A and B are shown apart, each in its own frame.
Chain A
């Protein structure tokens, strides 16, 4: 199946700094990628939809100036958490949209990034 690689797997940063997380499709091109956030013992919540060559679409309640998304190529989307605060500590996971064998698209997920802001 399609492989999605996310980097880094974990990161610790100081409060006030920015952190960039990469999501790469390794063996296919992904026009659309998705960024999710997962709090402990909670479900994955969609943050935004990343579209290659255009602006990302953010879900309600997600600050676009805080969570900057860039999808500059068909194999890479980045999420930058700007001016990180401890409440931004979470597990961030990306997925790429692929047309599968069925009538609709499938999602392939990266391994996730655990961000800890101290």
Chain B
């Protein structure tokens, strides 16, 4: 069945770049998403990429998609303490068809 996998934890130093990786199985997904969940808050859509794209950049965020390997990554440049959160990778075709990974908890150390 469809599956999305990502590592559970990532720790980076403030100011460094964070790279969160994800693998997925459904090659028919139209979109690949990155959501952010801060403590006590809901999921916030950070960015998404169409499955026919290789890269998308939005300010400090860079998404890379390797469709052949079904690998998605999120790079956060100049990581700040406010970036501490759980980041969910997800694949899907619409709001009704989103499969989430288990989330990567990003912690920032001084």
Contacts and interface: CB of A to CB of B under 8 A. Distances in A.
Interface of A: 4, 6, 9, 32, 34, 41-44, 46, 49, 93, 95-98, 104-112
A9 B41 CA distance: 9
12 contacts: A4-B42, A34-B95, A34-B96, A43-B99, A43-B103, A44-B100, A98-B95, A104-B93, A104-B95, A106-B45, A107-B95, A110-B42
Nearest to A95: B95
Given A9-B40, A104-B95, 14 more contacts: A6-B42, A42-B102, A43-B4, A43-B88, A43-B99, A43-B101, A44-B43, A46-B98, A95-B43, A97-B96, A104-B31, A105-B95, A106-B95, A107-B45
Contacts, number: 56
A42 B95 CA distance: 20
Q: Is the interface of A mostly helix, strand, loop or mixed?
A: strand
A104 B42 contact: no
A6 B88 CA distance: 20
Contacts of A44: 43, 88, 100
Given A43-B88, A112-B42, A107 B98 contact: yes
